[in-house]
Amino acid sequence: MKKKKNTKNNLKSGRRILSVEERKEMSKPKSPAAETPEIKEPIKPPNVFKMMKSFGKDLSKYVLAGAPNCSKEDYKERLLTCDACPHLMRNVMRCGKCGCLVEHKAKWRTTTCPINKWKKQDVSDIKAKQEEAKKKQEEEEKKSDSGKK
């Protein structure tokens, strides 16, 4: 009587009762690799100096280029790549390679993944704009120099 009750309870709770053969199979020793699960070491973030250096470099590039952002599709794609990356520190959403906040870093078109996992962005228009701005600045400087003389 008790056995039937247990079976009913197990079936109600969605658990399946294993057969004797299945139990034997489960108790057999598996391969050594399967017995000792791979212990993943926690990702070590880069030191503060390296993080600041990397962030400063990315920020100056971004600002000098006129703060261009990625398209929504590229941003999503970058985040998905990071999500599948073993270097992502999920608890703080930082990249374990450069220490940057992934959500911000992925938005900036001028930034790149430290291990080149992201799709390359076309920054030719940014470079052209920068060169144009440089030329304008040089012309203005020349004009102001000639005006002083």
Is residue 56 within 8 A of residue 43, CB to CB? The reply is: no
* The two three-digit tokens of residue 25, written as one number: 């199979």
- Return the number of the residue (70 or 95) whose C-beta is nearest ligand SF4: 95
Work out which of 46, 54, 58, 95 binds ligand SF4, going by CB under 6 A: 95
Q: Which stretch binds ligand SF4 (CB under 6 A): 21-29, 68-76, 85-93, 136-144?
A: 85-93
* The two three-digit tokens of residue 148, written as one number: 């002083």
Is residue 88 within 8 A of residue 140, CB to CB? The reply is: no
Shortest CA distance to 79 belongs to which of 104, 56, 106, 60?
106
Size of the site for ligand SF4 (CB under 6 A): 12
Work out which of 45, 114, 123, 130 binds ligand SF4, going by CB under 6 A: 114
Counting contacts by CB under 6 A, is residue 70 touching ligand SF4?
no
- Return the number of the residue (17 or 92) whose C-beta is nearest ligand SF4: 92
Q: Give residues 28-67 in contact with ligand SF4 (rule: CB under 6 A).
A: none
Is residue 55 within 8 A of residue 97, CB to CB? The reply is: no
Q: Which stretch binds ligand SF4 (CB under 6 A): 25-33, 53-61, 78-86, 120-128?
A: 78-86
- Return the number of the residue (112 or 130) whose C-beta is nearest ligand SF4: 112
DSSP 8-state class, residue 9? H
Smallest separation, CB 97 to ligand SF4 (Å): 4
Question: Cα–chain-centroid distance for residue 142?
Answer: 46
Amino acid at 123: V
Shortest CA distance to 59 belongs to which of 131, 110, 123, 94?
110
Q: List residues binding ligand SF4 (CB under 6 A).
A: 81-82, 85, 87-88, 95, 97, 102, 113-115, 117
